[in-house]
Amino acid sequence: SEMCIRDSYVVAAGIIFGLSISVRIMGLIIGGILLAILVFSRPLRAWFYAIAAYSLTAAMTAYLTWPYLWPHPVERFIASLQVNLGHQHNPPVLFQGASYASSQLPSNYVPTLIGVQFTLPLLLLAGVGLIWMLINLRRNSREFPILVLVWLILPITAFVILRPAFHDNIRHILFITPPIFLLAGFGLERIQRTLKLKKVLMAAAVTLALAPGIVHIVQSLSLI
């Protein structure tokens, strides 16, 4: 029964993966993140069959829910991937008082965008979580550091060094939001354990951390 439960999880995850690809082809990043985590954290025999079933289920789901692929699945899939990676349109992007082509943005564009889009308490807590994780790298499981590396650090580094075409604000890198919040939660937990904060003080700290975002949401709603 335990094996059946695990198999159902693999199939369900594969279906979700396939749907994410058919909605937006860059959903492939999800599978890449999972594969990298498994390759670096588990022996081959522990993940090979599961990832094969996961990939097959995802491929079938993407094909069945993406009518564009039906006549020529391989050719059209490759063509769609090339279009998304190529960014054939090149709209201007305003940044720090200047207009740039989306394919010629400065290397500090993405770090600056992250600093503007996320609140200061969130970034500070994520920084605490990242530092604590690095300090205790040898003591803890490798899965969480690998997750952060593949899901957050490598993509941001790639954007800074390779400077691919980028436009329409942060929507191209929304996938980095979960690991940032994971690190922030990890940082908040470390602070609570280190300072041995009581529930009341912990609730107050969480409220202060959330306050800037809540205030901004209320202000935005008032402008609608």
One-letter amino acid at 69 equals L
Closest CA to 72 of 7, 80, 202, 153: 80
CB 213 within 8 A of CB 152: no
Closest CA to 171 of 117, 124, 123, 111: 117
CB 213 within 8 A of CB 199: no
Q: Is 174 helix (H, G, I), strand (E, B) or coil?
A: helix
Task: Please indicate, yes or no, whether the overall pTM of this predicted structure exceeds 0.85.
Answer: no
pLDDT of residue 3: 47
CA angle 114/29/160 to nearest 5° reads 40
Token pair of 180, please? 């940032």
CB 46 within 8 A of CB 60: no
pLDDT of residue 2: 44
Tens place of pLDDT per residue across the chain (224 aa): 444 445 678 888 889 889 988 888 878 877 777 777 777 777 777 778 888 888 899 999 999 999 999 999 999 998 888 777 665 566 788 898 899 988 888 999 999 999 999 999 999 999 999 999 988 887 777 778 888 888 899 889 988 998 887 877 887 788 889 899 999 999 999 898 888 888 888 888 888 888 988 888 888 787 66
